Structure 1
Amino acid sequence: MWKWEAEGQPKAVVVIIHSAFEHHRWYAWLIEKLRQDGNIILMGDLPGHGEESKYARIHDKTVNEYLEFIEPLMKNALSYELPVFIIGHGLGGALAIQYLKKSKVECAGLILSSPWLSMQRHANLLTNALANLGTLTSNMKVTLDFNKKALTNSLDGYQEMEDEIVYKTSVTVSWYKEIQLLLKNLTSHQVSTLSLPILLMTAKHDKITDPDPSRKWLLSQASNDMQYKEWPISYHNLFHDSEREQVYFYVRDFINNTVRSLGYIVE
């Protein structure tokens, strides 16, 4: 877990949950923007990611292991006794939704960036194998077609994702099946829905996820404070893409407006 202190008097705490195959260093730009705007930021690398990925050739962690990783981040964030926001990108967005559905923590607002609710890209398998994943060995390795060039159309953003940690998209069949089950459960119509303020942002040219199910999911929530924005030029990674300055303005304004609604003074 890493912590970045706010510049000046803090107004909120932001917990960032990254997507699959990423790590916290990718979010340096976003972290600095949030810090300069008076937010404390907490973040870590999901199990099997970041430095851990140097010693593993394949992603095989369970959803529960990911959720257990989020727990201490939120506990630490709540200790500040300030409004706490979660930013979840990609798989991190799906995990944030699941975590908030299962826990009773006080969260001031949820910010979702291209959440994994319906995927456009699947494992690099034969079509009939994809239709019969149950017949494959659970620990068999499959490679997901998630090229970095499908994540952003910005050269600067692409370069920010280039470092010494190898970008690995190989997963076990059991990992793939469990993630697919998670997404199916999240988008099914259930009585349990989220009532906290939600900002959901998608990308029109997303090559990883399908924005339409995300919009439908948002409309099914119990929140009376929800915002949806589809960015017309961007690819999947909104915080690495050409519209990211405008994307950040939405994030900043959502946090400020929510904090004001809770009775805090935002200068």
Structure 2
Amino acid sequence: MWKWEAEGQPKAVVAILHSAYENHHWYAWLIERFRSAGFHVVMGDLPGHGKQGQYLRYHNEDFKGYLTYTKRLLNIALEYNLPLFVIGNGLGGAIALRALQKYKIECAGLVITSPWINLKLTPGKIPNALSSFSAFTSNVKLNHELTLYHFTRNTDVLLELKEHLPLNNVVTVKWYSDWKNLTRDLRDPEFKLPNIPLLLMNGEKDKVADSSASKRWLAQQSLSEYHYKEWNDCFHSLYFEVEREEIFQFTVDFINNVLRDLGYIIE
């Protein structure tokens, strides 16, 4: 885990969860923008990602490990004794939602972008690869044909991303099955998301995540405050996009409004 502290008096702390195949270096711009706006930031790499996964040929991590990692990340963020806001992108968004369903963690608000509740672009060429899931098929490798060009149309960001660790988008059938189980739990009415403010954002031209699935999921939640925003022309990773300054400001406005409702004076 890494910590970046705010310039001046902090308003709150932000914990960021990246998506599959990514690493925290990809979020340097977002981390710096939050710091400049008066927020502490806590972030790390999901198990099997970043330098830990540098020499792995495929992803076969246990999703229970993802949830345990998330619980630890959020508890570290809470050590600042400030309101906690969780930012989750893609798979990180789905993991954040499931972790807050599962664990009793004090959270002031959630910002979820392009969550992997359902996918348009799935790993493998056979959509029903899991129909015969068994111990014999669990280690079968699936190529998730997701490239950097699915993330953003921002050419400057694409050049930055290419300078970091290569995109390892090969997963096992077990990994894919674990993701399917996670999304099943997310949709299960028995597992309720805590009643905390939520901002859910999607890109209009996202070819990776199914925005209609996340909209249906949102409609089924019993939340007192939620906001939905779809960004015109945007691809999957909103904080990498051409409009990222506007998207970031929209995010900060949401967070500041939540802080005001909690009784904080925001200048």
TM-score range, shorter chain: over 0.9
CA RMSD of aligned residues (A): 1.5
Could you list the runs of 5+ residues in structure 2 that have no partner in the other structure? none
Three-state SS of the structure 2 residue aligned to 1:45 is coil
Matched to 1:180, the amino acid is K
Q: Structure 1 runs of 4+ off > 6 angstroms?
A: none
Alignment of 1:19-34 (within 5 A): 19-34=19-34
Deviation string 1:141-199 (CA, Å, 9 cap, x unpaired) is 11111111111111022122112412100111100111012112212433623310000
Three-state SS of the structure 1 residue aligned to 2:228 is strand
Aligned to 1:103: 103
Alignment of 1:95-174 (within 5 A): 95-126=95-126, 129=129, 131-134=131-134, 137-174=137-174
Aligned to 1:258: 258
Range moving further from structure 2, 31-40 or 148-157: 148-157
Change (3 A) 1:128 1:111: closer
1:227 aligns with 2:227: yes
Aligned to 1:44: 44
Deviation at 1:5, TM superposition (A): 0.6
Deviation at 1:265, TM superposition (A): 1.1
1:205 aligns with 2:205: yes
Change (3 A) 1:130 1:74: closer
Could you list the runs of 5+ residues in structure 1 that have no partner in the other structure? none
- C-alpha separation in 1, matches of 2:53 and 2:133: 25
Matched to 1:106, the amino acid is E
Three-state SS of the structure 2 residue aligned to 1:255 is helix
Aligned to 1:13: 13
Three-state SS of the structure 1 residue aligned to 2:54 is helix
- C-alpha separation in 2, matches of 1:153 and 1:110: 26
Change (3 A) 1:127 1:81: closer
Matched to 2:212, the amino acid is D
Three-state SS of the structure 2 residue aligned to 1:208 is coil
Aligned to 1:82: 82
Three-state SS of the structure 1 residue aligned to 2:25 is helix
Three-state SS of the structure 2 residue aligned to 1:55 is coil
- C-alpha separation in 1, matches of 2:89 and 2:140: 27
- C-alpha separation in 2, matches of 1:80 and 1:27: 21
Check conservation: 1:187, 1:213, Cα contact below 8 A: no
Change (3 A) 1:94 1:129: closer
Range moving further from structure 2, 49-58 or 106-115: 49-58
Q: TM-score, length-normalised on structure 1? A: 0.95
Aligned to 2:215: 215
Matched to 2:28, the amino acid is A
Range moving further from structure 2, 125-134 or 230-239: 125-134
Change (3 A) 1:90 1:200: same
Three-state SS of the structure 2 residue aligned to 1:223 is coil
Deviation at 1:127, TM superposition (A): 5.1
Check conservation: 1:198, 1:226, Cα contact below 8 A: yes
Q: TM-score, length-normalised on structure 2? A: 0.95
Alignment of 1:57-68 (within 5 A): 57-68=57-68
Matched to 1:93, the amino acid is G
Three-state SS of the structure 2 residue aligned to 1:227 is strand
Deviation at 1:2, TM superposition (A): 0.6
Deviation at 1:113, TM superposition (A): 0.7
Change (3 A) 1:85 1:127: closer
Range moving further from structure 2, 199-208 or 139-148: 139-148
Change (3 A) 1:235 1:76: same
Three-state SS of the structure 2 residue aligned to 1:26 is helix
- C-alpha separation in 1, matches of 2:3 and 2:150: 30
Deviation at 1:129, TM superposition (A): 3.9
